[in-house]
């Protein structure tokens, strides 16, 4: 452990972001009880609502703190009507800006269905699959592709005639995200639920797109460094149905930015919904962890949303810090949090509205904090 503890910069952001980050902090506090705190969490304002109030997305000190922190915990950004003069969402600096600025080139999204969690395919609460059929990690490229800020409009006489987004796929961008996917497959202690095989599936549209052909070539080149991991391929359109029909086939999936954005939301349905989906924006030197669900303006201030995505983001953050700093104590804390989460879920689920229950955000957080306290260190 670091003498002074790890610095965590928290950006609650917009909408329901502050409500779930508050619960995340509660759980971190419960983990830290009874010993010297292994981390300090400092909260900074910013986002779309901040922009509407102050005319800027965040303060220079907050940006500096994000760059200096050992890890970043992000709530959510985006608020209706909060738009920058160029049309971008106000708050983009905190999410897309940090992905670019800190070179957070991989977006690592675990997709696991825990016992006790129901999924809602066809709009009904079900647990058709035994949970052990959904346990994969989707690794999404996070800095290029259609997200490259090489875009614009051509206007003549004040009227837009053409809009262009450029899809940029680079050797460097592809290589490092594919390598990250193979490293995750190597480090994970389990393969695909179906057959136990460690497998990385490359999801692309290489039957049509040149950028995807290049991405797949790069995948093959990097895969050659990992002979013990099976290679697998899927075109993104077919992948969407296989993902839902046979999730047990997938272990680690790697894909480009825009396709990854879409398929990870789809995959979240398999794990009980966006209320359980966390993501780590991970580069070589920095990591930013977040619940994937966004600011959900409709639910803001209602103390109603499911905070588990944030708890899983916190777990992912602690695990990443532990690996990075070879900190076994911290790894035990991440394990302890995961056991507490698994236990509360197995014992009645999250209880929140998205799971058909009536537990509030705070109550769900209290239960997890209590489970953490009763879970041995």
**How many CB atoms are closer than 10 A to CB 277?**
27
Return the number of the residue (165 or 261) whose C-beta is nearest Mn ion: 261
232 vs 290, beta carbon nearer ligand IPM: 290
> Cβ contacts of residue 54 below 8 Å, gap of 6+?
none
Quote the CA–CA distance of 352 and 354 in Å, as a whole number: 6
Considering only CA atoms, which of 98, 93, 186 is closest in space to residue 139?
Answer: 186
Cβ count within 10 A of residue 376 = 6
Three-class DSSP category at 201: strand
To the nearest whole angstrom, how small is the minimum distance from the Cβ of residue 99 to ligand IPM?
A: 8
Half-sphere exposure of 339 (CA within 13 A, CB side): 14
Whichever of 31 and 76 has its CB closer to ligand IPM, that residue is 76
Residue from 103, 248, 261, 335 touching Mn ion (CB under 5 A): that is 261
- Residues in 168-227 that interact with Mn ion by CB under 5 A: none
Contact status, residue 45 vs residue 36, Cβ threshold 8 Å = no
26 three-class SS: helix
The C-alpha atoms of residue 316 and residue 314 are separated, in whole angstroms, by: 5
CB of 45 to ligand IPM, least distance (A): 18
The CB-of-326 to Mn ion minimum distance in angstroms stands at 32
Q: Which residue has the tokens 């346990």?
A: 135
> Does residue 95 interact with ligand IPM by CB under 6 A?
yes
For residue 291, give both structure tokens: 């619940």
Looking at the Cβ atoms of 116 and 283, the one nearer to ligand IPM is: 283
Among 165, 261, 335, 366, binds ligand IPM (CB under 6 A): 261
Residues 58-87 that bind ligand IPM (CB under 6 A): 78
- Nearest CB to Mn ion, comparing residues 112 and 140: 140
Specify which residues 110 forms β-bridges with. Answer: 137
Work out how close the CB of 165 gets to Mn ion at its nearest, in angstroms, rounded to a whole number. 16
Nearer to ligand IPM, 95 or 252 (CB): 95
Alpha carbon distance 365, 307 (integer Å): 7
Q: Binder to ligand IPM among 84, 96, 168, 266 (CB under 6 A)?
A: 96
**Which is nearer to ligand IPM, 35 or 80 (by Cβ)?**
80
Q: Which CB, 73 or 76, lies closer to Mn ion?
A: 76
Tell me the three state secondary structure of residue 181. helix
Q: What is the distance between the alpha carbons of residues 272 and 299, in angstroms, rounded to a whole number?
A: 18
Phi, psi (degrees; rounded to nearest 5) at 105:
-80, -10
Tell me the closest approach of the beta carbon of residue 262 to Mn ion, in angstroms: 8
Non-local CB neighbours of 58 within 8 Å, separated by 6+ positions: 11, 44, 45, 46, 47, 50, 93, 94
Q: How far is the CB of 78 from ligand IPM (least distance, A)?
A: 6
Q: Is residue 143 within a helix (H) or strand (E), and if so which, with residue range?
A: none
Tell me the site size for ligand IPM, rule CB under 6 A: 5
SS3 78: coil
96 binds, among ligand IPM, Mn ion, none (CB under 5 to 8 A by kind): ligand IPM
In this structure, what token pair is assigned to residue 72? 């970043």
Query: Considering the complex, what minimum distance in angstroms separates the CB of residue 15 from ligand IPM?
Result: 12
**Least distance from Mn ion to the Cβ atom of residue 128, Å:** 25
- Subset of residues 283 to 302 that bind ligand IPM, contact rule: CB under 6 A: 292
* Smallest distance from Mn ion to CB 376, Å: 37
Among ligand IPM, Mn ion, none, the one that 95 touches (CB under a kind-dependent 5 to 8 A) is: ligand IPM
C-alpha–C-alpha distance, residues 62 and 11, integer Å: 9
Q: Which does 24 bind (CB under 5 to 8 A by kind): Mn ion, ligand IPM, none?
A: none
Q: Which residues of this protein are in contact with ligand IPM, per CB under 6 A? A: 78, 95-96, 261, 292
Q: Which residues of this protein are in contact with Mn ion, per CB under 5 A? A: 261
């Amino acid at each position: 452990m670091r003498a002074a503890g790890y610095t965590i910069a928290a950006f609650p952001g917009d909408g329901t972001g502050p409500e779930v980050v508050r619960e995340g902090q509660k759980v971190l506090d419960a983990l830290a009880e009874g010993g010297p705190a292994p981390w300090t969490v400092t909260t900074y304002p910013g986002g779309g609502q901040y922009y509407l109030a102050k005319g800027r997305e965040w303060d220079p000190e907050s940006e500096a703190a994000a760059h200096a922190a050992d890890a970043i915990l992000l709530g959510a950004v985006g608020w209706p009507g909060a738009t920058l003069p160029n049309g971008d969402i106000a708050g983009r600096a905190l999410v897309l800006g940090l992905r670019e600025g800190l070179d957070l080139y991989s977006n690592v999204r675990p997709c696991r269905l825990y016992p006790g969690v129901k999924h809602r395919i066809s709009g009904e609460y079900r647990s058709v699959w035994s949970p052990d059929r959904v346990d994969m990690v989707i690794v999404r490229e996070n800095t290029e592709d259609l997200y490259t800020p090489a875009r614009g409009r051509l206007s003549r006489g004040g009227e837009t005639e053409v809009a262009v987004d450029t899809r940029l796929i680079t050797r460097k961008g592809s290589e490092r995200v594919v390598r990250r996917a193979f490293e995750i497959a190597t480090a994970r202690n389990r393969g695909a639920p179906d057959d136990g095989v460690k497998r990385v599936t490359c999801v692309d549209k290489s039957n049509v797109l040149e950028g995807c052909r290049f991405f797949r070539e790069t995948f093959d080149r990097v895969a050659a460094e990992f002979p013990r991991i099976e290679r697998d391929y899927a075109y993104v359109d077919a992948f969407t149905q296989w993902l839902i029909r046979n999730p047990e086939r997938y272990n680690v999936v790697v894909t480009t930015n825009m396709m990854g954005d879409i398929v990870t939301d789809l995959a979240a349905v398999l794990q009980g919904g966006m209320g359980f989906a966390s993501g780590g924006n991970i580069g070589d030197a920095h990591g930013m962890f977040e619940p994937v669900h966004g600011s959900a303006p409709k639910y803001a201030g209602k103390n109603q949303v499911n905070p588990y995505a944030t708890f899983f983001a916190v777990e992912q953050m602690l695990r990443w810090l532990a690996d990075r700093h070879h900190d076994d104590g911290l790894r035990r804390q991440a394990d302890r949090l995961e056991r507490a989460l698994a236990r509360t879920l197995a014992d009645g689920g999250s209880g929140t509205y998205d799971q058909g229950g009536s537990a509030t955000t705070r109550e769900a957080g209290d239960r997890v904090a209590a489970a953490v306290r009763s879970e041995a260190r």
